[in-house]
Chains A and B, each alone.
Chain A
Amino acid sequence: MSEHDFLVNAAGRRVPRVVNGVEQVPYQGVGGYEPKGSKHGPPIRSCRDYPADGDKRVADLKTALERCGLRDGMTISTHHHLRNGDRVALMALQAAAELGAKDLMWFPSASFPCHEPVMELMDRGVVQRIEGSMNGPLGEYTSYGKMRGMGVLRSHGGRWQAVQDGEVHIDIAVIAAPTADAFGNADGSHGPSACGSLGFALVDSLYADHVIVVTDNLVDFPCIPWQIQGNNVDCVVEVDSIGDPAQIVSGTTQITRSPDRVLIAEYVARFLRDAGIMRDGFSFQAGAGGIALAFVQFLKDMMNEAGVKARFVRGGSTQFLVDLLKEGLTDYILDGQTFDLAGVASIASDPRHVATSPFTSYSYHGKGNFASMVDAAVLGATEVDTGFNANVNTHSDGVLLHGIGGWQNCLFSRCTILAVPAFRDRIPVIVDRVATLTGPGELIDVVVTERGIAVNPKRADLLEAVKGSTLPIRTIEEIKAEVEGIIGGRPEPPRLTDTPVAVIKWVDGTVIDTVWQVEE
């Protein structure tokens, strides 16, 4: 690509004009881009083409794909409700390979180590590229320039936005369903492969040309409750197993044991208390990371002590959030994803534990979303710079490591906290310039490390609120300088080539940064 093919966006990052043949809009700042036009619409379907008895079962996935008109170059979507236990994505792509399909775009809501065999399908030309998250080996595959097309990374909300806006056209959506009926109604909270909410698949069911539901727990109509409406479904395929239950949800979610991380978690909870964010009727979001879980434990004690309760908490639900609900410390759990057995049991039985979707929670192209109504979100990051800009996608050496998940969307909370160690071994987390920009600093309010808490100078109100507190409030530059003293100075910049291998989308579909091929 020549210099002409790039331009510099509002964050000062060089981004390609065209990605996979599609012209791009560069990032224009938070709220800078105004979308035009109407939402994308799937083709109109008619009852005359579907069985009146509602039985849409077909023999197997191959038959279903054929019936959905599988062709070379199509986009096939799958979802990560089954996390590292998922068998359906590979089943679908391998069935497509057996039918001789080439140059497919795989559009997962996230990928996991269990999806490693997709690399072999890319080597064989079955899959041309991935637009989704590229973790672990898939991330390295992409970073070393082995993927033919360019990767596109989107947040959970951004995935909904891209499909809704017609940026991504899904030809065939394959939805793994822990329970379904022959009509295609489907739900995730029951069955041997129960995983909780199926929210990530909702957008696909609404906007894809064709929808296939794959289940290992077919029940007689009606499947109650249903989260996916059978009226959007073309075919239902019954298989022996959609996933490995042991890898779908963990039995118990692990809280961090590392004393340094426990300290970070405690600082987060104390910050919320001392800044006055923890008050009656407040709300917060906590993920399933070790620090996020530990912070909930500390916060719980402080809430009990102060006699306050939350109106709602947002998950990633786990045992720890379920305990809050059971003990009356929150009125509701608004759940985007269910992480452990306690979460699955709760969402299946407690009406106050509610499944949400990336539309209600996260999508930026809607008439508001829940994420911006949350009082505090506690998130992680691999790097953050002195302008509070953060990276969750690549290692400090520029290699793709993680997807975006709901991270970008959560930045819109009233107080966004990054809970991160100041350094990992000899790798600094606070840097001069993040290797990859995933989220702009203007939305990141607080960085909590084991060596102190840095409040974004833009949030004078928060700085004022914690003035009398005993918390170690410091500038981000101070913490950075201290860490550099320990690790032996500033690291060298990553060794990258000038070839883009992926782009990072902002929540509005604009391109916020480029992931460059790494030198071998």
Chain B
Amino acid sequence: MSAQARKAKAGEAGRRGADVRSDCWASVELAHSGGIELELTSKVEALFGTSLRADIADTVRKAGVPHARVRVEDQGAVPWVLEARLEAALRRAGVTPKADPRPPRTAPPPEGTSRDRLRRSRLYLPGNEPKFMINAALHAPDAVILDLEDSVHPAEKDAARVLVRNALRCVDFQGAERMVRVNQLPRGLEDLDEVVPEAPDVILVPKVEGADDILQVHARIQGIREEKGVSTPVWIMPILESALGIENALAIASATDTVVALTIGVEDYTADLGVARTPEGTETVWARSRLVNAAKAAGVQAIDSVFGDVADEEGLLAWGVRARAMGFEGMGCIHPRQIRIIHRAFAPSQAEIDKALAVVAAFQDAEAKGLGVVSLGTKMIDRPVVLRAQRLVARARAAGLIPGEGDA
């Protein structure tokens, strides 16, 4: 929307055209009289025409706008999407909504996640594209990332923010951890104002170069949590995407106790080095190893980057297997079909599972007998070995690799 149109007290948002699905385009022109004049075309006119009209008029009125010419071209947007587009159009027309513009929460209440939760896969969802959000959880990623950064055009940042906020309130992401990638600071701080009240589980902060970035984000998050009464934890996952970021990995990982994982943005990192990215990833081995070491030193998870070629499933599997061997605990996905391959790559082998099960059984046996020392056969088992075995069993269970439990 141009600055000129904004002066004319008009705004538009969303997407139009026959190829658009599950989205809509809305435009609002403020007027001095005539009430709310609505022009609506919708592919679901026959099914939802009446409720669509009521919903649109209601949203505009709730914003405190008595007179406006409103146009909506709807390609089957669900209510929270329609309302996000209208709200963005109203804001672009210079309207600050009078009443709370947020749709009622229809998603289950946030339960909060734990620091060391399973984070094998995180599915990127472009923040301005509602159609991918609605069914994302069906593909069972460990986490979804509502992305406000690279997948959103600079001119659409404001609209995406509203859409992502509504998605956090209205989409049931089922068991998936709800992550939001905000923009690079300082814009990212404004993103936090919109999304943190909706209690996302993790905030991904891009292009972090030092501990100070994280301290700023942490302070802002805690401020919003207190003000808005967000009781569940909001963790931070810094993304290191430059040579400097990698050098400061340990300081970044230990900046606050809300950092749960470090991850790397390989695309920007290789650009920073001035080298080409290869499917084997030799050019990033040092940086990734450095990240793993820093993460472990700080007691947080190390998560790998994304694998960009969706069609190359074998390449993805090989990448994931190598990443696990390096000490990573998961990676990003840019398409749902990558999720299962990644889960397979990060799954322990049968030999590992068998050994871990034996260790856990020996531990339980020792506990039951009140023995202080755990032994398996003739070998004494150290405490860290038991812990690692317990973690491995939990992961294998989540991957459905222990018969009779979980889902394959």
User: Does A397 lie within 8 Å of B134, measured CB to CB?
Assistant: no
**9-residue interface stretch from A61-69, A73-81, A481-489, A502-510:** A481-489
A495 within 8 A of B: yes
Which of B48, B106, B406, B408: most chain A Cβ within 10 A? B48
Question: Bound complex: CA of A398 vs CA of B408, how far in Å?
Answer: 41
User: Does B49 lie within 8 Å of A492, measured CB to CB?
Assistant: yes
Note all chain A residues with C-beta closer than 8 A to B135.
259-260, 450
Q: Using known A-B contacts A263-B138, A450-B135, determine if residue A425 contacts B46 with beta carbons closer than 8 Å.
A: no
Q: Which residues of A (410-469) have their CB < 8 Å from a CB of B?
A: 424-427, 450-451
Min C-beta distance of B343 to chain A, whole Å: 15
Q: Which residues of B (76-112) have their CB < 8 Å from a CB of A?
A: 76-79, 106
User: Does B46 lie within 8 Å of A426, measured CB to CB?
Assistant: no
User: Does B134 lie within 8 Å of A486, measured CB to CB?
Assistant: yes
User: Does B46 lie within 8 Å of A495, measured CB to CB?
Assistant: yes
Q: Using known A-B contacts A263-B138, A263-B139, A485-B106, determine if residue A426 contacts B49 with beta carbons closer than 8 Å.
A: no
User: Does B22 lie within 8 Å of A426, measured CB to CB?
Assistant: yes
State which of A259, A485, A486, A491 has its C-beta within 8 Å of the C-beta of B336: A259
User: Does B76 lie within 8 Å of A492, measured CB to CB?
Assistant: no
Min C-beta distance of B403 to chain A, whole Å: 11
Q: Using known A-B contacts A259-B336, A470-B407, A487-B78, determine if residue A426 contacts B138 with beta carbons closer than 8 Å.
A: no
Q: Which residues of A (258-277) have their CB < 8 Å from a CB of B?
A: 259-260, 262-263
Residue of B nearest to A451 (CB): B138
User: Does B76 lie within 8 Å of A426, measured CB to CB?
Assistant: yes
Q: Using known A-B contacts A259-B335, A263-B138, A470-B407, determine if residue A492 contacts B75 with beta carbons closer than 8 Å.
A: no
Digit string of A214-241 for contact with B (CB within 8 Å is 1, else 0)? 0000000000000000000000000000
Residue of A nearest to B79 (CB): A488
User: Does B335 lie within 8 Å of A427, measured CB to CB?
Assistant: no
State which of A259, A260, A488, A492 has its C-beta within 8 Å of the C-beta of B46: A492
Secondary structure at the B interface, as helix, strand, loop or mixed, is: loop
User: Does A488 lie within 8 Å of B78, measured CB to CB?
Assistant: yes
Question: Bound complex: CA of A486 vs CA of B48, how far in Å?
Answer: 13
| Number of chain A residues whose Cβ lies closer than 8 Å to a Cβ of chain B | 23
State which of A263, A424, A470, A491 has its C-beta within 8 Å of the C-beta of B48: A491
Min C-beta distance of A485 to chain B, whole Å: 6
User: Does B47 lie within 8 Å of A486, measured CB to CB?
Assistant: no
Min C-beta distance of B169 to chain A, whole Å: 13
State which of B46, B139, B406 has its C-beta within 8 Å of the C-beta of A396: B46
Question: Bound complex: CA of A343 vs CA of B294, how far in Å?
Answer: 58
User: Does A397 lie within 8 Å of B138, measured CB to CB?
Assistant: no
B62 within 8 A of A: no
User: Does B47 lie within 8 Å of A427, measured CB to CB?
Assistant: yes
Which of B43, B47, B79: most chain A Cβ within 10 A? B47
Secondary structure at the A interface, as helix, strand, loop or mixed, is: loop
B51 within 8 A of A: yes
Q: Using known A-B contacts A425-B21, A470-B408, determine if residue A260 contacts B138 with beta carbons closer than 8 Å.
A: yes
Residue of A nearest to B171 (CB): A486
B366 within 8 A of A: no
Residue of A nearest to B21 (CB): A425
Question: Bound complex: CA of A487 vs CA of B51, how far in Å?
Answer: 11
Note all chain B residues with C-beta closer than 8 A to A263.
138-139
Min C-beta distance of A298 to chain B, whole Å: 13
A494 within 8 A of B: yes
B33 within 8 A of A: no
Note all chain A residues with C-beta closer than 8 A to B406.
470
Residue of A nearest to B335 (CB): A259
Residue of B nearest to A259 (CB): B336
Note all chain A residues with C-beta closer than 8 A to B337.
259, 262
B2 within 8 A of A: no
State which of A260, A425, A486 has its C-beta within 8 Å of the C-beta of B44: A425
User: Does A425 lie within 8 Å of B75, measured CB to CB?
Assistant: yes
Residue of A nearest to B42 (CB): A426
B378 within 8 A of A: no
User: Does A492 lie within 8 Å of B50, measured CB to CB?
Assistant: yes
Residue of B nearest to A470 (CB): B407
Digit string of B54-78 for contact with A (CB within 8 Å is 1, else 0)? 0100000000000000000001111
Question: Bound complex: CA of A262 vs CA of B335, how far in Å?
Answer: 13
Residue of A nearest to B81 (CB): A426
Min C-beta distance of B381 to chain A, whole Å: 33
Min C-beta distance of B241 to chain A, whole Å: 28
Q: Using known A-B contacts A425-B21, A426-B76, A488-B78, determine if residue A450 contacts B138 with beta carbons closer than 8 Å.
A: yes
Note all chain B residues with C-beta closer than 8 A to A398.
46
Q: Which residues of A (13-69) have their CB < 8 Å from a CB of B?
A: none
Note all chain A residues with C-beta closer than 8 A to B408.
470
Min C-beta distance of B140 to chain A, whole Å: 10
Question: Bound complex: CA of A485 vs CA of B170, how far in Å?
Answer: 9
User: Does A491 lie within 8 Å of B47, measured CB to CB?
Assistant: yes
Residue of B nearest to A485 (CB): B106
Min C-beta distance of B59 to chain A, whole Å: 13
Which of B76, B77, B135, B337: most chain A Cβ within 10 A? B135
Note all chain A residues with C-beta closer than 8 A to B46.
396-398, 492, 494-495
User: Does B138 lie within 8 Å of A425, measured CB to CB?
Assistant: no
State which of B43, B55, B335 has its C-beta within 8 Å of the C-beta of A425: B43
Q: Using known A-B contacts A425-B76, A486-B134, determine if residue A259 contacts B139 with beta carbons closer than 8 Å.
A: yes
Digit string of B1-36 for contact with A (CB within 8 Å is 1, else 0)? 000000000000000000001100000000000000
Min C-beta distance of B245 to chain A, whole Å: 32
User: Does A489 lie within 8 Å of B139, measured CB to CB?
Assistant: no
Question: Bound complex: CA of A494 vs CA of B50, how far in Å?
Answer: 12
Note all chain B residues with C-beta closer than 8 A to A488.
48, 51, 55, 78-79
Q: Using known A-B contacts A259-B336, A260-B135, A486-B134, determine if residue A425 contacts B22 with beta carbons closer than 8 Å.
A: yes
Note all chain B residues with C-beta closer than 8 A to A486.
78, 134
Min C-beta distance of B27 to chain A, whole Å: 20
Digit string of A257-300 for contact with B (CB within 8 Å is 1, else 0)? 00110110000000000000000000000000000000000000
Min C-beta distance of B364 to chain A, whole Å: 26
Question: Bound complex: CA of A424 vs CA of B76, how far in Å?
Answer: 8
Question: Bound complex: CA of A425 vs CA of B23, how far in Å?
Answer: 9
Min C-beta distance of B405 to chain A, whole Å: 10
Note all chain A residues with C-beta closer than 8 A to B79.
488
User: Does B47 lie within 8 Å of A426, measured CB to CB?
Assistant: yes
Which of B138, B337, B407: most chain A Cβ within 10 A? B138
Q: Which residues of B (185-229) have their CB < 8 Å from a CB of A?
A: none
Question: Bound complex: CA of A396 vs CA of B47, how far in Å?
Answer: 8
Residue of A nearest to B75 (CB): A425
Min C-beta distance of A134 to chain B, whole Å: 19
Question: Bound complex: CA of A362 vs CA of B20, how far in Å?
Answer: 40
Note all chain B residues with C-beta closer than 8 A to A487.
48, 78
Residue of B nearest to A422 (CB): B135
Question: Bound complex: CA of A494 vs CA of B45, how far in Å?
Answer: 10
Min C-beta distance of A506 to chain B, whole Å: 27
Question: Bound complex: CA of A500 vs CA of B47, how far in Å?
Answer: 21
Question: Bound complex: CA of A397 vs CA of B43, how far in Å?
Answer: 10
Q: Which residues of B (118-162) have their CB < 8 Å from a CB of A?
A: 131, 134-135, 138-139
Q: Which 4 A-B pairs have the closest CB atoms?
A: A425-B76, A397-B46, A491-B47, A259-B336
Residues of A near any B CB (own CB < 8 A): 259-260, 262-263, 396-398, 424-427, 450-451, 470, 485-489, 491-492, 494-495
Could you name 21 residue pairs across A and B whose Cβ atoms are closer than 8 Å?
A: A259-B135, A259-B337, A260-B135, A262-B337, A263-B139, A396-B46, A397-B47, A425-B131, A426-B76, A427-B47, A427-B76, A470-B400, A485-B106, A486-B78, A487-B48, A488-B55, A488-B78, A491-B44, A492-B46, A492-B47, A492-B50
Residues of B near any A CB (own CB < 8 A): 21-22, 43-44, 46-51, 55, 75-79, 106, 131, 134-135, 138-139, 335-337, 400, 406-408
Contacts A259-B135, A427-B76 given; 5 further ones with Cβ under 8 A?
A: A260-B135, A425-B43, A486-B78, A489-B51, A491-B44
